Each structure stands twice: as structure tokens, then as C-alpha cells.
Amino acid sequence: MSQKIKILIITESPILPTGMAEVIRLIFAALLDKYPDQYEFHQVGLFHSYAVTKPRWPVYPTKGGKDKDGRLFFLTDDLNGQRTFQEISPKLKPDIVFAHNDPQRILYLCTPPAQRLNKLLLYVNFDGLPFPPDQGPILNNADLIVTLSAFSKRIVLSCLPTITPDKVHYLYSPADIARFRPLSESEKMELRNRALPQWMPSSAFLLGWIGRNQWRKQIWILYSVIRYLRTGDYLVCHDCGRVSLRRRGALPSQRIHESCGNPQSEDRPRSEVCSGCGSARFEKAAPVSDVFLWIHMPDEPSQDWDKSWLERQFDLRPGRDIHYTEGHKVETCRTPSDMPALYQLWDCLLYLSGGEGFGMPAWEAMCSALPVIYTNYSSHAEFLTKANASLPVGGMLQPEKRTCIWRMVADVSQAIEAVRKIYFDRELGKTLGSNGRSFVQQYTPEIQAERWHRIFQQLRSSDQPSRKSCSQSGVCGETHT
């Protein structure tokens, strides 16, 4: 029997409730199940704290501690695993170092091949354009660069021309269709009777959101959309069916602003006409009183949007319009086995993120046969569009302050239109959900484990996997249509 391939993984700890941790759990647990005698895994675990599950391989936590108030902190010089990697790598002597993170966080690993004994594989998140070209020569020191989507691969090749094209491939996350599965109507109603808050009717049309409170996620748009839907303070065109926001602001702050003679605070028509076709044949929408928003978002110190201020700004109230997962904090997150129930409760995932390296909530929604309303930019838009599993929403691209990477700010009118389509046509939602479930059958953990197995075998035995062997029919995601 040949010697086991020893792989040192560097990414967020596998015990965490994050998208990156989930991807790693799915990939390497499936490899252990399928090839138990061929691999030995170790991991430098970033942010190793607040466990929601147990690891199946040794984890070496990055350095940190607690301050005088009992709050966790992590050392800056080990935030991305720099110190821990330097300490354990000489002892472990891995055959392959596998780093999964944003590219700027793993540059320290990218030493020239002649200066290291291991092969280096980067499984990187590229979630938007542009990317600094001066980092290309550094990343090019890796033996293989795998992104999570063709969108991300195009970013690498267009922004980083110094990277050897044959080194760059893409491979989707495994799709856990056994854990994330749809329920029958009777099962769903039984779950709702147990799990919905008492104030919410079991027949509610429930929009869901999963994610962190970050500027990139643009969560304020969720509050705006549910506000308009529940008040009906928008116009619906008789001729084209498009939605237009009313000229006079729907929110108290906007009305105060405009009543003082100030310009309109949003780009709305000068008169009450359709913003799509210009028709004057329109009507004020009726409130949709049985649509609610369920937000699964942990309370954490570094929140980019104050939830209480968003509620005040959009005149929303928990227990009437929106619901937050009870007790959902960084230190008390749900376990992986608990997560499928969220998707099974909902009627649609409202995923209006400004940009994603992959987008695990949308992927898990597809596994659950749940339709998705999504921003049509970034990696998540790629697989949702391919699968015809969702309704796209356009918007405006805005550069992020710190990085100038483009982020999509979703058009509220289009988001309202998309929700109305699924609300008034429940069969459409079922069809989209079924399409998504069918699509992800190609990426089960067993199938993706085989693709990663071929990559690791070839990476150890040769200079790098060939483009042919890294096609979707062989290993990666290159040829899938």
C-alpha cells in the first residue's frame, strides 16, 4: 500500500459555523469516507472558538486569548495562521499545503517552489473586480490555484496576467443533498407548527436570509423590500406589470426630507407613471399582509448595520414584520445538523448580497429545493443562473470603500417584482426549486471527493494537474454548461 498523502489545511477552523468551514468539512470528510487509507489531514484552524461540531482531524488553533472582560481576541501576527504554520509545518512535513481563504490572506504561503518541500494548492475566494495586479507574481508561486466558480477564474485571468493560465481552475463546493433536502407539504406544515414563533401564522409566505451583518451583504435592502411588500406603498403597471416606487417617499425620514422642499432622495419618476414603460395606467399595490422576513444573522460586535436603526428607518418591528433566529449569536450558533430546518421552513431565500466568493446559503437552498431571489453579479449568480433555480435582480455596482471591489446594490423595485412573481405563482417557486435540486445532484460530496482525489494524486506525483484532467468531466469545473 502506498504511503498516505499528508495534507495540511489552512483556513477557518472546521468547528465554526461559517461558509468556509462548511466547505472544508464537506470536502475532507468525504475524502476520509471514500479513501480512509490514502489520506492524513491536519489543519491550522483560524478563529478556533465557539464550536458547533467536532473535527475529524487534528486542528492546531491560531494564537489568541481573552481580554479582561472575557472577550476573545486573536493575535495579529497569527490572524491568518502565519505563526502557527511556521511552528507546525516543519514537524508535520506535509506533502500538500491546502489554503482556503481570500487571496490576500494567504500570500505569506506563496514562496517559490524551490524554497519549500511541499506542493501548494490555493482554493481561493475571488468575489469581485478588480484585484491588485501586483499580487499576481506572488500567487503564481503556487502549484495550483482553484477558485470556486468560473466567475472567479475569469477575475484571476483578467486581473492577474502574470499568473500562468494552466495553473488556474475552478471547482464548486460539494452539495450536501442528504442533509439539505426538501419536505413534503405535510412535513413542512408540521415543522412550521413546531418552529414558527407564536405570532406568525403557519400559512405565512416566508422570505429567509442567512449571512453576516457586513456592508458587502447589503442587508438594508432586505428591510426595504419587506417594508414595501407589507405596506403596498408602490405602483404596479397595468401594461407591463413592472413595479415603480412612489415618488413621495414611503418612509417617514424621506417624507420629512421632501416636505422641506429638498430634492427627491431616490431616483423616481417625476409623476406617478410606470418607470418601466412610462404608462400612466397603474395602480397602488395592495399590502401583502402574510409575507414576513426571517433573518438568520448572528449578533456580533463588528456589525456594519445597526439592526435597531434599520428597524426604525424602515418602520419595521420584530414580532410583526420580521423575525430573528432566537439566541443566534457568534458564541451560540446553530449546529450543521440544525441548519436544514431553516430552509425547510421558508418559501424563498432572499439573497441580495453585493458579492460572494461562492455563496453557501444559495447553494444549500438549491439542495433544499428552495427558490432563490438573487443579485445577478458574482459567483452565486453563476450557478443560480445555470440551474434556472431562481429569479435574478439587477442593480448598481458600487466600489467598496476599503478595496474598491465592485459590489452590487440591488434594485428594490426589481426585488419586489421577483417576490411578487413567486408569491402569486407558487408553482413557479416549486419549479425553480426543483431545477436547483436537480442541478446540484452533479456535485454531491462523493462526486466532488473523487475530483479532489484526482487533483491531490496528480499534484503529488507530477508538476501540476493538466487542463484535461481538471475538466468537469474529470476533476474541476471547466467544461460544464
Q: Which helix (H) or strand (E) is 252 found in, with range?
A: helix 252-259
Strand partners, 5: 39
pLDDT of residue 476: 53
Q: What does the alpha-carbon distance between residue 176 and residue 389 come to, in Å, rounded to a whole number?
A: 17
Q: Does domain 5-174+444-461 have CATH number 3.20.190.10?
A: no
Q: What does the alpha-carbon distance between residue 161 and residue 387 come to, in Å, rounded to a whole number?
A: 30
Beta strands in 395-444 (DSSP E): 395-399, 406-410
Q: What does the alpha-carbon distance between residue 213 and residue 154 come to, in Å, rounded to a whole number?
A: 28
Per-residue pLDDT in tens (0 to 9) along the chain, 481 residues:
578 999 999 999 999 888 999 999 999 999 999 999 999 999 999 998 877 889 999 999 999 888 887 777 889 999 999 999 999 999 999 999 999 999 999 999 999 999 999 999 999 999 988 888 999 999 999 999 999 999 999 999 999 999 999 999 999 999 999 999 999 999 999 999 999 999 999 999 999 999 989 899 999 999 999 999 999 999 999 899 899 987 555 566 666 656 665 555 554 444 567 878 888 888 999 999 999 999 999 887 777 888 999 999 999 999 999 999 987 665 556 778 889 999 999 999 999 999 999 999 999 999 999 999 999 999 999 999 999 999 999 999 999 988 899 999 999 999 999 999 999 999 999 999 999 999 999 999 999 999 999 999 999 987 555 554 454 434 454 434 3
Strand partners, 329: 299
Residues spanned by CATH 3.40.50.11930 within the chain?
Answer: 5-174+444-461
Q: What does the alpha-carbon distance between residue 214 and residue 391 come to, in Å, rounded to a whole number?
A: 23
Q: What does the alpha-carbon distance between residue 358 and residue 174 come to, in Å, rounded to a whole number?
A: 12
pLDDT of residue 470: 52
Q: What angle do CA 239, 241, 247 make, to 5 degrees?
A: 95
Q: Which of 295, 287, 288, 308 lies closest to 207 in space, CA to CA?
A: 295
Q: What does the alpha-carbon distance between residue 376 and residue 391 come to, in Å, rounded to a whole number?
A: 9
Q: What does the alpha-carbon distance between residue 234 and residue 269 come to, in Å, rounded to a whole number?
A: 12
Its pTM stands at 0.91
pLDDT of residue 474: 40
Residues spanned by CATH 3.40.50.2000 within the chain?
Answer: 185-232+286-442
Query: CB–CB of 432/366 below 8 Å?
Result: no
- Cell readout for 41 is 489531514
Q: In the CATH scheme, what architecture does the domain 185-232+286-442 have?
A: 3-Layer(aba) Sandwich (3.40)
Cis peptide before 130 (omega within 30 of 0): yes
